[in-house]
Amino acid sequence: MPDLENCWVVVTRPSHQAAKLSNSIASQGGHPIPFPVLEITELPQPAGAENLIKGLNRYQLAIFISANAVNQGLALVNSHGHWPSQLPVAAIGRATTSALRGAGFDAVLAPRERFDSEGLLDLAALHDVSGQNIVIFRGQGGRTKLGDSLRQRGAKVDYLECYRRTRPQIDPSILHDHWRDRQLDIITITSAEGLQNLYDIVGPDGRDHLLSTPLVVCHPRLVPAAHKLGWQAAILVAKKNDDDGLVEAMIRAWRR
């Protein structure tokens, strides 16, 4: 019997990034319920972007926070110039690493186990960055942990915010119908912003159901965020911050 036989799972990734996770759930006998709680949109010309891009050759490292940062950031670079051949790149997670390799970067500095800012900061190459210029490609208003830590180590850090995350217009009755029919077993969440959006989208009428549905998250920092919202059901943290890790955590949750 497949590990997720008859398990109904809410997939909250943005629509353009949900296919792999949904297919993995289906391959294990589960039923994915697409319900994007984030939408990735282009920013108007980011402040200072053109000058930063034209001066990319003065940086010693470029860090990409997400696959969206790769896609949007490189498009922005190409619209104003080109990528300096000597500028190395780094990525936090597997999807970001794959996106960079797909864009033609053969050498990508990335953690092998912990796929977050802390995992990247643990790499030996980022221990001694005093005097280096580092640019971070990210979404608008992202976490500051990485940049702050690199500055504490003596680096000069600039951000290029190349996309924004917004809350999509989506009908919550999709979830209400699944709860009514008892066809909603697990919810997946990959960011605190997405968690808050989900809470807001379902509205007061759906929150009792929401807070009593088991939750699978990609990072331990999402656990207190869920508890702050009043989560009552079990919360399982994926051992790996990627789709495979999420599926493994779903299987653990479903077996319970």
pLDDT digits (tens, 9 = 90+) for 150-195: 999 999 999 999 899 999 999 999 999 999 999 999 999 999 999 9
Confidence of residue 250 (pLDDT cuts 50, 70, 90): very high
Q: Which pLDDT belongs to residue 133?
A: 97
70 and 155 belong to one structural domain = yes
Distance CA 21, CA 246 (A): 8
Residue 183 domain boundaries: 8-38+169-255
Q: Are residues 74 and 127 in the same domain?
A: yes
Q: How many CB atoms lie within 10 A of CB 210?
A: 24
We report the CATH number of the domain holding residue 242 as 3.40.50.10090
Choose the final residue of a domain: 113, 139, 165. 165
The single-letter DSSP state of residue 12 is: -
Tell me, yes or no, whether 66 and 137 share the same domain.
Answer: yes
24-47 pLDDT, tens digit each: 999 999 999 999 999 998 877 766
**Total domain count, the chain:** 2
Please check whether residues 148 and 200 belong to one and the same domain.
no
Least confident of 94-103, 109-118, 203-212, 246-255: 109-118
Instruction: Say yes or no to pLDDT of 144 above 90.
Output: no
- The vertex-115 CA angle with 122 and 36, nearest 5°, equals 150
- Is residue 142 located within the same domain as residue 192? no
**In whole numbers, what is the pLDDT of the chain averaged over residues?**
93
Residues 49 and 157 in one domain: yes
- What is the pLDDT at residue 94? 85
Asked whether the predicted pLDDT for residue 23 surpasses 70, the reply is yes
**Domain assignment present for 2:** no
3-state secondary structure of 135: strand
